[in-house]
Amino acid sequence: MLEWLETFNGETWQQRWDACPASPAYDGWHAETISWWQRHGRKPGLAALRSGLLALICADVIRPGLHWLVGNQSKFLRPAIEAARDPEGFARLKAALPSDQWSRRPGPDALKAIARIIAALGGGVDDITVGDILALHRATPGKATEAVRLAYTWLRNRDQFPPDAPSTLHNLTSRAGQVDVDQLVDRYHLQCKPVRDLLVDYLNERRPSLDYNSLKSLSAHLAGLFWADLERHHPGIDSLSTWAPSTCAPPTRPGTSPPPRPPPSASTPAPKPNASAGSGAAPPARPAAPSRR
């Protein structure tokens, strides 16, 4: 992994990780790595790459983002982070809870949520803040937020948060008021970072002239309906030039339009002219349609 990361710009391993194509999303992160090794005459196994990357995360050499870590469903992530980064902190947390709370679902998922925060932001269990939990909550889809809310309750009950912190996140809704352009775009988990950054820059330029609802609608059209849709139907797309109407036709989704008709070739015989054409003779009459009874 380090040999591959060395090929990207940056003064630190974290900067090289942020610059590599594996950092935006967990899905498919290994594709470019395997391709690079194959071009150099080696065929690393996917299990070996996963183990190597996990070792770098546990050693705090690189810190993937929360969206990336939420996509990582490996059963090895939580115990590895617990053992390597803060075994005492996890032990104290478990000792303060009934064993069935952290050993039965959603307890293990709540422990994994805490491990994700440590992997992404550094520190240990005692360093986690309300803002860290909320950031993970925003990055976590659907029903999986139950584990994040449970982790919040655990830490809140051990007086780790300020006294005015909410007693629970169960009433937290997706309506969080106005958010930054970055957060509007990141709702769609775009995998191509250059295009994601381009959309953020464009929306920031438009922001002064738009009300918030218009800005949110524009971000949904550009990031969600446009680019995220292209990424879903054309995995690996990494440039707007791929879609540029001046250079090529837009990619089409399979099954949404009929296949184009083949152009006529030189071997296709031309249709024979009607013998009656130009002779003044009337074309033959169509037979009368049968009457309905």
Q: Do 121 and 44 belong together in one domain? A: no
Question: What would the two tokens of residue 211 be?
Answer: 């009300």
Q: Identify whether 50 is part of a domain.
A: yes
Q: Which residue has the higher pLDDT, 205 or 290?
A: 205
Q: Which two tokens stand for residue 5?
A: 């990361």
One domain, residues 122 and 217 = no
Tokens at residue 125, please?
């269990």
Does 270 have pLDDT greater than 50? Answer: no
Residue 4, pLDDT > 70, answer: yes
Same domain as 193, residue 107: no
Percent of all residues in the chain with a pLDDT value above 70, rounded to a whole number: 80
Specify whether 36 is located in the same domain as 132: no
- Domain contains 287: no
Average pLDDT over residues 166-187: 74
Q: Give me the helix-helix angle, 31-39 and 46-58, nearest 10°.
A: 110
Q: Compute the CA torsion angle 111, 106, 138, 122 (nearest 10 deg).
A: 0
- The half-sphere exposure of 251 on its side-chain side, counting CA atoms within 13 A, is 18
pLDDT score for 263: 47
d(CA 106, CA 148): 9
Shared domain for 80 and 47, answered yes or no, is: no
**Overall average pLDDT of the 28-34 stretch:** 86
Predicted confidence (pLDDT) at residue 206 exceeds the cutoff of 60: yes
Domains of the chain: total: 3
- Cα separation of 244 and 257, whole Å? 20
The rounded distance, in Å, linking the Cα atoms of 208 and 215 is: 10
In this prediction, residue 172 has a pLDDT band, given cuts at 50, 70 and 90, of: low
Quote the mean pLDDT of the chain. 80
Confidence grade of residue 56 (pLDDT, cut at 50, 70, 90): very high
Domain assignment of residue 118, yes or no: yes
Same domain, 88 and 148: yes
pLDDT of residue 66: 92
Confirm whether 277 is domain-assigned: no
The reply to whether 257 falls in a domain is no
Q: Same domain for 26 and 93?
A: no
Report if residue 19 sits inside a domain: yes
Confidence (pLDDT) at 87:
95
Q: Are residues 12 and 44 in the same domain?
A: yes
Task: Tell whether the model's pLDDT for residue 33 goes beyond 90.
Answer: no
Chosen domain end from 205, 220, 239: 239
How many whole angstroms separate alpha carbon 219 and alpha carbon 289?
A: 57
Give CA torsion, residues 11, 12, 15, 21, to 10 deg: 100
Boundaries of domain holding 57 = 1-62
Q: Are residues 132 and 119 both part of a single domain? A: yes
**Segment 194-207 mean pLDDT:** 88
- Say how many Å lie between the first and final Cα of the chain, rounded: 80
Query: pLDDT band for position 60 (50/70/90)?
Result: very high
pLDDT digits (tens, 9 = 90+) for 98-151: 888 887 888 899 999 999 999 999 999 999 999 899 889 888 887 788 899 999
Please tell me the predicted confidence (pLDDT) of residue 53: 92
Residues 47 and 96 in one domain: no
pLDDT of residue 104: 82
Interval 209-261: pLDDT, tens: 888 888 888 988 898 888 888 887 787 788 777 655 443 444 444 444 444 44
Q: Do residues 154 and 87 both lie within one domain?
A: yes
Q: pLDDT at residue 200 above 80? A: yes
pLDDT in tens, 10-22: 899 999 999 998 8
